[in-house]
Amino acid sequence: MSSYFTDLAQQYIDGEWRPGTGSWDIIDFNPYDDEKLASITIATVDEVDEAYQAAARAQKKWAETNPYARRAVFERALRLIEEREGEIAEAIIAELGGTRLKAGFELHLAKEFLREAINLSLRPEGRIIPSPVDGKENRVYRVPVGVVGVISPFNFPFLLSIKSVAPALALGNAVVLKPHQNTPIVGGSLVAKIFEDAGLPAGLLNVVITDIAEIGDAFLEHPIPKVISFTGSDKVGRHVATVCAQHFKRSVLELGGNSALVVLDDADLDYAVDAAVFSRYVHQGQVCMAANRVLVDRSVAEEFTEKFVAKVRTLKAGDPRDPETVIGPVINSSQADAISGAVEQALADGATALVRGTRTDNLVEPSVLTDLPANSPLLKQELFGPVALLVTFDGEEEAVRLVNDTPYGLSGAVHTANIERGVAFAKQIDTGMFHVNDGTVHDEPIVPFGGEKQSGIGRLNGDTMLDSFTTTKWISVQHGRSGFPF
């Protein structure tokens, strides 16, 4: 595993591994023990340009390659991940503080998304559309956009890089990938290594490890990429969307959330507790779909709260390498500071801590807060950490209002003994995804994934990848002679 952090601590441009030429290094730390994993000299604006130029050069031939031949690359990449699964899991644990459970979850999904990319290679289809003009044949071709820029986040870096990179490549595009600075290996160069070893031709996937302090908006503004696929915060996503619009680029934005898990008065409380605890605390709560808020009908609130608190107290926090650990470190000290500060502010505003976790460096133990004032900012924002907010409500109408009272609209869940009651509830929620009698954290390769409001623009997965990473081209053929008015 450690060889990843020595061998892959470089840029990957036009099929070559090479150091960046920037004047400073990104230092890659293990967030649990602060061990220095790698030092990577950053890419400059010139190297971003070189990466995009290489992608543009390679893309035309790739688009003309038989899709069955393209498909074989993804089949080999899948086999490589299966062969190296243990090493990749160790890298996930080391670089982002993911627990063994989380690493397994991420790798399982990454393999599923690669399987879908294999199928996606053969998915584009053309159409023949009727014309009101005699003798005219209207052909509509589905073609690659060309070059796609991908910016991936730190929380599920291996999965969320592959989730955009593999479909974009499968559909005949080339890609330049910029991973998050905290996960440059797992989210960037490791992905490139797998595709290189799988036989992807040079230039089709490039990885630039850099920082906006060095390159500004060069990654977004460059004239070559036609689509930018960004996963991250709504604050940065808003900027990405603005820059893309100014340059007439398409943006696919998978942003933050403030999801709620709702427990109605007829719910199976033990099951709802299990779903809620997982939905809030998986990967320390650093998941865009995590259940920030747990809303419980007042008639069952006392029993639910007692069971919920008891289960949260059993969650072991500590070394993510320990198979028993459920709560590992958050990604960095800034994140730990933000979580601790949010809890302090909530308590100062009148909230009650049913569980008050302590903090040791980047390890933040679980907290459970209740009695938050209705106007608490915490109820409206994304809380990227292991803090659950318990809120009681009186009846479904109030629950719907509370769930929707947020600028986000990504995921959510409702628990009830009556499935159709749950579906009727779900239809009233302004989200891109909602789940009945389950958790809030789900992603499946062929189901449209994305949010409403400030949770993003566009969808990923399945056939929606065609909308994201291809475009249509109308070519008409006039059989015989056309008539003209002059």
Q: Are 95 and 156 in contact (CB under 8 A)?
A: no
Partners of 429 in the β-ladder: none
**How far does CA 348 lie from the centroid of its chain?**
33
CA nearest neighbour of 430 among 405, 467, 393, 466 = 405
Q: Which of 116, 254, 365, 382 is catalytic?
A: 254
Decide if 244 is catalytic.
Answer: no
Decide if 47 is catalytic.
Answer: no
State residue 226 phi and psi, 5-degree precision. -100, -20
Strand order in the sheet with 174-178: 16-18, 11-13, 205-207, 174-178, 147-151, 227-231, 250-254, 456-457
Pair of tokens at residue 440: 């809030």
Q: Which residues of 175-192 are buried (b: 16+ CB within 10 A; e: fewer)?
A: bbbbbbbbbbbbbbbbbb
Partners of 457 in the β-ladder: 253
Dihedral angle over CA of 9, 210, 51, 249, nearest 10:
140
- CA pair distance 422, 178, nearest whole angstrom: 40
Q: Are 409 and 388 in contact (CB under 8 A)?
A: no
- CA pair distance 292, 198, nearest whole angstrom: 39
- CA pair distance 102, 93, nearest whole angstrom: 8
Output the CA–CA distances (angstroms, integers) from residue 293 to 38, 276, 347, in the order listed: 37, 9, 16
Q: Which of 95, 196, 244, 288 is catalytic?
A: 288
- CA pair distance 45, 372, nearest whole angstrom: 46
DSSP reduced 3-state for 261: strand
- CA pair distance 22, 35, nearest whole angstrom: 23
Q: Are 30 and 97 in contact (CB under 8 A)?
A: yes
Pair of tokens at residue 91: 């890298």
What's the DSSP call for residue 438?
A: S
Q: Which residues are catalytic?
A: 254, 288
